[in-house]
Structure 1
Amino acid sequence: MKHNLDQTKADHIIQICACANLRMVSGSLTQLYNKLLKPTGLKITQYYMLGNIYRYPYISISKLGEIMLLDQTTVTRNLNILKESAYVDIKRAEHDSRTKVVAITELGYEKLNNATPIWSQVQGEIEDSIGKDEYRDLLSKLEELQQVIDQYES
């Protein structure tokens, strides 16, 4: 069988692939945050979720998923963990009984508050190692990349 793709070109494609590179860094970064947040009992996704629930009180579960760019299964799984730990309260929306909304509890706020110094330390080290201006540039580039992705989804 003849292959049109030689080894050098295959290596090059893998090295410059946006998706592969972002997945590697994202996976490593997730592992780092999870490792350092372990004493709090939260994973980074749960920390981020609690932060969004705090930021948007009584947010619908579907809107939370949209904001976090998470599928419904991942949102539900993490919300169930947070609910079992009494960090969030899930109930039917007053204006629409078909919609479930989520709110952070006092215990959830305490957990978020206790985990934030660890998150801040990691975040600060990342920003310091890259440089504050370069980090802002990175965020800007990621936002631009998201806009490119969004064009494909519309």
Structure 2
Amino acid sequence: MSKKLNASFETTLHVYDHCLCFAAQRAARALARRFDEALSPIGLTSGQFSLLTSLNQPDPPSMGSIAALLVMDRTTLTANLKPLEQRGLVEIAVDEADRRVRRLILTPAGRKVLQSALPVWVEVHGEIDRLLPASDGRTLRRGLRALA
């Protein structure tokens, strides 16, 4: 579509059919809703599950490294950590070597909640994977990682 676009309904349909951002946003909301519903009995949202998973590392990661991993600014990360911290699932500690750095610690209670959420994630993820041909799922994940 090399001609100049105008704000007609045909242009709207073109954007709907071709815009990667629009498609990714729709898919992300649908996926998040699906995981939110499945994880709600455990008391987690899909975002909280992702955050707890990202903290499940041999050594407590820094706030900056988790913000980068989740492609999230530090203010948003702090807001997302607050309910997990209030539930005792996460602790924020000052790094002993560099007092400017904050380390994010997955507590034993956080590990327990994450452990109980994993079977739910496996089940829902399996349902989603079955909707895609096997090679398409791998290709989609590789493409999404390239974009992030």
Calculate the TM-score normalised by the size of structure 2: 0.90
Q: CA deviation at 1:4?
A: 5.8
1: CA distance, partners of 2:92 / 2:29: 29
Gaps of 5+ in 1: 147-154
Please state if 1:96 is matched with 2:98. Answer: yes
Please state if 1:129 is matched with 2:143. Answer: no
Please state if 1:7 is matched with 2:9. Answer: yes
1: CA distance, partners of 2:68 / 2:146: 18
Gaps of 5+ in 2: none
Runs of 4+ in 1 over 4 A off after TM superposition: none
Structure 2 partner of 1:84: 86
Please state if 1:65 is matched with 2:67. Answer: yes
Q: 2:115 aligns with which of 113, 116, 137?
A: 113
Work out whether residues 91 and 101 of structure 1, in 8 Å CA contact, stay in contact via their aligned partners in 2. yes
Question: How many correspondences in the alignment?
Answer: 144
**Which of the two has greater helix per residue?**
1
Mark the CA change 1:127 to 1:97 in structure 2 (over 3 Å): closer, same or farther.
same
The Cα offsets for residues 89-148 of structure 1, whole Å up to 9 and x where unpaired, read as 1110010111111111111000000011001101111112213222111112223334xx
2: CA distance, partners of 1:87 / 1:20: 34
Other structure's SS at 2:69 match: helix
1: CA distance, partners of 2:58 / 2:133: 30
2: CA distance, partners of 1:53 / 1:95: 20
The Cα offsets for residues 40-76 of structure 1, whole Å up to 9 and x where unpaired, read as 1111111111111112531111111001111222211
How much identity, in percent, do the aligned residues show?
A: 26
Work out whether residues 57 and 104 of structure 1, in 8 Å CA contact, stay in contact via their aligned partners in 2. no
Other structure's SS at 1:91 match: strand
Mark the CA change 1:91 to 1:127 in structure 2 (over 3 Å): closer, same or farther.
same
2: CA distance, partners of 1:73 / 1:144: 25
